[in-house]
Structure 1
Amino acid sequence: MNPVLPLAVLGLVDAAFSGFRAYAGRDARIRKHRAVLRASLRGLAVGSVLLLAPALAAGSVLLLAEDTDRAYGALADGGTGFLVPLGAYALAVGLSLAAYFALPYRASTLAMVVGLGPLTLARPLVVAGACAGALVAGGGWTSLLVGAVAGAAVLCVEPYVHRRWYAFPA
């Protein structure tokens, strides 16, 4: 299985959520759908650019490899190992979001506090676990390198969007 497409989708969805988190709490208006959409699109745009870094790292690994097929196989194995913790994390976030939107007010607030809050704080640990998964799954040091570049890219989206657009009150 080639993990590139699922990893790219997860990275872009995470970037959109990072843009939203960079904006969240900055505006007291009741109707702020446009501002939320704009913040999410900003995160998506920044994430799209930053996620070129792991693609370039993987391309460099393949260009510099003596045995391209072996290097591709190692990157694919590492990508699968990287995907497993991220997929479990995305499933937990998805279930928390579903509970937030589907349950009554008090229960949805509890889902937010118990689920989404701690999961947001755990993001860097999950990314570190994904990097370890890339190494352990047989990807080797090259997969760890590409995974670390990808992890740094997704973790940099929210701070960049915050500093670029939301650091000062409007």
Structure 2
Amino acid sequence: MTPAAVLAALLTLLGLVDATFSGFRAHAGRDARIRKHRATARAALRGLAVGAVLLLAPALTAALLLLTASDPARTYDALAAGGLGYLVPLTVYAAAVLLSLTAYFLLPFRASTLAMVIGLGPLTLLRPLAIAAACLGALLNGGGGPGLLVGAIAGAAVLCVEPSVHRRWYRPSL
């Protein structure tokens, strides 16, 4: 497996994990039952499914760019460089989320609630900024226009998962 293929797989995996959490967030707070593991798992799977479909857009964009490029090797290199630049800010963001989740699951109740309030809450609000930083990273790392285009489409795709899941399955009836 080439380094570029590994990079694409990592970015896809990161996008799918984010989509799964987005499905969970679309459902969170809408169910007052004590035992809601099945509903939570269903919401996460819905996010994963929607995310998998939406993440086809950047993959198809990259394929189209490669098929129509006058110099496919150069475009491929630009997309690989852009992908690496895109991954670095998202890795930092994902590490912060993972640290907050670890604190939430391992600490006693009060401390885990604090981890949720000062960690996961603000980090959720910072997702669009993390994606903007990733797009900037794709551009600055040598991805140029192709890297920025694919990164922006990927960012838009992951940001659309939660509203799509909410609108389709969890919108309150009037």
TM-score bracket for this pair, using the shorter chain length: over 0.9
Letter in 2 for 1:42: R
Aligned residue for 2:9?
5
Q: Given the alignment of the two structures, is residue 159 of structure 1 paired with residue 146 of structure 2, yes or no?
A: no
Q: 3-state DSSP class of the match of 1:26?
A: coil
What SS class does the counterpart of residue 16 from structure 2 fall into?
Answer: helix
d(CA) in 2 for partners of 1:166, 1:109: 25
How far apart, CA to CA, are the structure 2 residues paired with 1:37 and 1:126? 26
Match for 1:93 among 92, 97, 105? Answer: 97
Stretches of 4+ aligned residues off by more than 6 angstroms:
none
Scaled by the length of structure 1, what TM-score is found? Answer: 0.98
Give 1:67 shift: 1.1
Q: Indicate whether 1:136 and 2:143 are aligned.
A: no
The equivalent residue for 1:63 is 67
The letter of the residue matching 1:130 is: A
Identical columns (%) = 70
Q: For the aligned residues, what is the CA RMSD?
A: 1.1
C-alpha displacement at 1:66, in angstroms? 1.1
- Report the TM-score when normalising by structure 2: 0.96
- Which letter does structure 2 place at the counterpart of 1:75? L
How far is 1:124 from its partner?
0.4
1:149 shift after superposition: 0.4
Match of 2:23 in 1: 19
- The unaligned stretches of length 5 or more in structure 1 are none
Cα distance in 1 for partners of 2:15, 2:148 equals: 17
